[in-house]
Structure 1
Amino acid sequence: MMVVLLRVVLVVLAVLSAPAGRASAQPAASPDLADRVGGREDLTFADLVRLVAPRIAASGEAARLRHIGGEEWRSAGPEAAELRAFTAVPARSGGSDRMVLLLDFGEARDSAAGFAVLALFDIAGEPRLLDAADVAFDRRTSFAGPVRLPVGEAGDLLVTRSTHFNSSQGYAMTALILLGGDRFELVDTISTLDDRACAFKRTQRLDIRRGTAAPFADIRATVTERTAGTAEPCDDGAAVPEPGTRTIAVTYRWDAAERRYIADSDAFAVLARENETRF
């Protein structure tokens, strides 16, 4: 056990995260582990990671870490407890400043998905780990635009996306995760699929925006699907979809009685089933 923990700490302290992407559009950063957190001279990102890494390395602890999607998604933990990359996002919960890290531990031990831990920290005084959950729904998981949306008294909304690709299809599962009461709660997952064949190319792009309602803002998510023909010859006999554009939109509204966001339709569930027939 101690050997494994020591290995984790040494790997963690040696890892540098990947370069930040689209920094101008997203409030997420990919700092070095040695960088200071929140302007504090006495706290680094390595200090925060040390609060999480032993839980992942300890025997059985990773298996007990909840998955944000529920029991059917939970894995036995990563193949190797080695931190590969991390991303940081400042956030607010219940009117307090918090720090959120998305930690990539690579592949899960018992599934084709990855193992990505979303961790919430109180950094006002002595740093504390407040909540952690596996948010990997596929092989690679990262924050996705807009990353963080302030939605009022309910807290911040965080957006992650899990993906994998093959030669003709790209799969994505976007998770809308509410940060309220110092705990992560799943609002919904949205499945999108890009696919192409010899005669067409089809893309699905997701846009997430905050509404104007108060004190809890609506969340509006829209998938725009575009299908275009190609000039390539196609003689496989498969049906070719008509070129065109369609939109699938869902609005999530805060339900005061349920204390959660509720979708105004099942349109994304219908889209997910439709996409499954194209796999």
Structure 2
Amino acid sequence: MVVLLRMALIALAISWTPADRAFAEPASFPDLADSVAGRKDVTFADLIRLVAPRIAANGEASSGDGAIDVRHIGGEAWSSPAPEAMKLLKLAALPARSGGLDRMVLLLDFGQARDSASGFAVLALFDVTGEPRLLDATDVAFDRWTSFAEPGRLAIGEGDDLLVTRSTHSNSSQGYATTALVLLREDRFELVDRISTLDDRACAFERTQRLDIRQGTGAPFADIEATVTERTAGSGEQCGDATAPEPGTRTIAVTYRWDAAGQRYIADSDAFAALARENEERF
């Protein structure tokens, strides 16, 4: 029995290739001098210089003075120029797939955009199978701080992935988040939707909104199932004449389905747009 179990484990190890393991991993946070997986001759600094050519590989305080022009994933209305003095504040890496091919995605946080309160965060796509090539790059900052969400990647297509980023900022009583659903298709980033959520609290209550993203069924691209769960709890404090919302839980759900004719995802309702308008009234 032990021999049979050992043989089964060996067979599983053989069938589970290193590439499969890499694409099951969450986002990592490498140093610039680290080698890209499978490429001892290519570092993350080499990839970043394809976005910001003069970035310096000097540890956490990496700095430079310029980046290539990138579009904003949300369109021209969201576009902000890159900071005058480029400084890489955070680097996150995530293996991904496009058209069935292995790719590397980096999320580069360069801090605050020029003449804007929003950040400047570049989502960059690379082919690292040969001489490293930058395939696409887009600004995904919808707020001050941007990172990969959890999950940061869903394998929703036949060899194509969905990437999920989240932009946030907060003050003493409110926390703001914008989650971007980004389809990686034909080596290009395409925005599926952006979903805004708000946490707020006052003397008499605390309210949270949590977003969950799941992969559904369907082909050639699976449904994307998004659910916001809002929970409101009373504090039990005496707050004068302040009126607190009723405690309880509600869910707001939207499913995005692939439209073959339009070659894009379409939401089955405008529930998230209505939630965004409702939250704006609480700002």
Q: Which residue of 2 aligns with 1:46?
A: 45
Q: How far apart in 1 are the matches of 2:116 and 2:77?
A: 11
8 Å CA contact 2:181, 2:192 repeated in 1: yes
Which protein is bigger by CA-based radius of gyration?
Answer: 2
Deviations 1:36-70 (Å, cap 9, x if unpaired)?
A: 112211111111011111289676x65x4200000
Structure 1: segments with no counterpart, 5+ residues: 1-24
Q: Quote how far apart the aligned CAs of 1:26 are.
A: 6.4
Q: How far apart in 2 are the matches of 1:170 and 1:27?
A: 25
Q: How far apart in 1 are the matches of 2:170 and 2:28?
A: 25
Q: Which residue of 1 aligns with 2:277?
A: 273
8 Å CA contact 2:65, 2:85 repeated in 1: no
Q: Determine what percentage of the aligned residue pairs are the same residue.
A: 76
* TM-score normalised to structure 2 length: 0.85
Q: How far apart in 2 are the matches of 1:102 and 1:115?
A: 10
Structure 1 stretches of 4+ with a deviation exceeding 3 A read: 55-59
8 Å CA contact 1:154, 1:216 repeated in 2: no
SS of residue matched to 1:268? helix
Deviations 1:99-145 (Å, cap 9, x if unpaired)?
A: 00000101011111011000000011000000001100000000001
Q: Which residue of 2 aligns with 1:149?
A: 154
Amino acid at match of 1:217: A
Structure 2: segments with no counterpart, 5+ residues: 1-23, 56-63
Q: How far apart in 2 are the matches of 1:253 and 1:154?
A: 17
Give aligned pairs, total. 252
Amino acid at match of 1:32: D
8 Å CA contact 1:26, 1:146 repeated in 2: no
Q: Which residue of 1 aligns with 2:248?
A: 244
8 Å CA contact 1:79, 1:107 repeated in 2: no
Q: Quote how far apart the aligned CAs of 1:214 are.
A: 2.5
8 Å CA contact 2:112, 2:144 repeated in 1: yes
Q: How does 1:128-167 map to 2 (within 5 A)?
A: 128-153=133-158, 155-167=160-172
SS of residue matched to 1:83? coil
Amino acid at match of 2:267: A
8 Å CA contact 2:179, 2:195 repeated in 1: yes
* TM-score normalised to structure 1 length: 0.87
Q: Quote how far apart the aligned CAs of 1:33 are.
A: 1.3
- Indicate whether 1:90 and 2:95 are aligned: yes
Q: How does 1:1-279 map to 2 (within 5 A)?
A: 27-54=26-53, 64-153=69-158, 155-235=160-240, 237-279=241-283
Deviations 1:218-259 (Å, cap 9, x if unpaired)?
A: 000000000000022211x33310000000000000011111
Q: Quote how far apart the aligned CAs of 1:79 are.
A: 4.5
